[in-house]
Structure 1
Amino acid sequence: MSTDVREVTLEIGDKEFTFTLTPVDVTKYFNAMTQTNKVAPANNLLVTTVEQEQRASLKPHLGNVVMVMQLANLLMEEYAPDVEAVVKKPSDTLNA
């Protein structure tokens, strides 16, 4: 597994919050998500990766489940590498 550690700063309202994401954090987040359990893993990702001294200031923003999911999605978008990929569509002609 890569040792890719990424620091992401999100501005929420008038405050900045810095999150440090590692491959282990992201893997735990994805592995904890299930069909019926998405908010708790997102909340855990936010709380465990934010700088410790910012945790208390972040918690009031985590009362709304939609906000939790949006913030986690922002972190994942910033963590993800830039990938240039094109999906090749199958040819309309049949192989004879």
Structure 2
Amino acid sequence: MTEVNRDITMEIGDREFTFHLTPQDVTKYFNSTTNNNKVAPANNLLVSTVKQEERASLKPLLANPVTVMELAGALLEEYSPDIDIIVKKSSATLTA
């Protein structure tokens, strides 16, 4: 699998924000997410990957934790490659 660096632009309200994502950014996000810590890693992902000149405009939008999670989710969904995955059901084998 090749490393993918991507610039992703999201329109939030009447503003556009451009995020530069690398595999390292996404890995850091997933590795820091725990059952009790989801919003802070999502916030960090957004703040650390948005263009520096747009950071000040983005921060007020991150006051609501639900917004943080929605934005991070949309960003990660767009970053994800389009691949076909089929999970086949395994047949249950009874042993006597």
TM-score (norm. length: structure 1) = 0.92
Q: Which position in structure 1 is the counterpart of 2:37?
A: 37
Per-residue displacement from partner, 1:63-91 (whole Å, max 9, x unpaired)? Answer: 00000000000011011111101111123
TM-score (norm. length: structure 2) = 0.92
Identical-residue share of aligned pairs (%): 65
Aligned pair count reads: 96
Name segments (4+ residues, structure 1) moved above 6 Å. none
- In structure 1, distance between residues paired with 2:94 and 2:37: 43
List alignment gaps of at least 5 residues for structure 2.
none
Q: Assess if the C-alpha contact under 8 Å between 1:9 and 1:17 holds in 2.
A: yes
SS in 2 for 1:8: strand
- In structure 2, distance between residues paired with 1:22 and 1:2: 11
- In structure 2, distance between residues paired with 1:17 and 1:75: 11
List alignment gaps of at least 5 residues for structure 1.
none
- In structure 1, distance between residues paired with 2:2 and 2:44: 22
- In structure 1, distance between residues paired with 2:67 and 2:2: 29
RMSD: 1.8
The one-letter amino acid paired with 2:54 is: Q
The one-letter amino acid paired with 2:44 is: N
